[in-house]
Amino acid sequence: MLQRNFGDRAINKRAIFGTLSVAFVIYTAQVYTSGTDSRHSPSISDEARYGQQVFQDKNCIACHQFYGLGGYMGPDLTNVISNYSEAYARAFIMNGTVRMPNFDLSLEETDALIAYLSFVDHTGTYPPEDYDVLWNGAVAQADDPE
């Protein structure tokens, strides 16, 4: 009788282990495929690519950030175009400020930087919106129905 109970428990342990293994595989597939649909991001134009090169050559990231990453002396530039305007950004780029040097950029370089900032503006928002973590570990916007 002792062997029979032991044998039943062994079968129950195998059934539990098998069930948990299947659940793990299903959960893993759900987590890795949920939320993988991405919005179509715009392709970068040649002018914006040139602006990116100017941004890198002038080491703008030393003082400014995109998505909160970068230097902290200047403001985050992720959504500077939509939050203010192209004219606003152009004025700072062309004239500088007390803390930002005037780099004496050409009109072509300035236009390219504006194109680059416009491109970045369309790729996301910063600071991030309010998100909720779903039961499966995926992240959804708070106003999404799930």
pTM (predicted TM-score): 0.64
Token reading at 35: 């939320």
pLDDT in tens, 87-128: 999 999 999 999 999 999 999 999 999 999 999 999 888 887
- Angle at Cα 88 formed by Cα 121 and Cα 84, nearest 5°? 50
pLDDT (mean) for 22-26: 94
Residue with tokens 């950030």: 65
83: pLDDT strictly greater than 70? yes
Query: Do 30 and 42 form a contact (C-beta atoms < 8 A)?
Result: no
In angstroms, how far is the first alpha carbon of the chain from the final one?
A: 52
How many Cα atoms within 13 Å fall on the side-chain side of residue 9?
Answer: 6
Token reading at 62: 């030393």
Q: Which helix (H) or strand (E) holds 42?
A: none
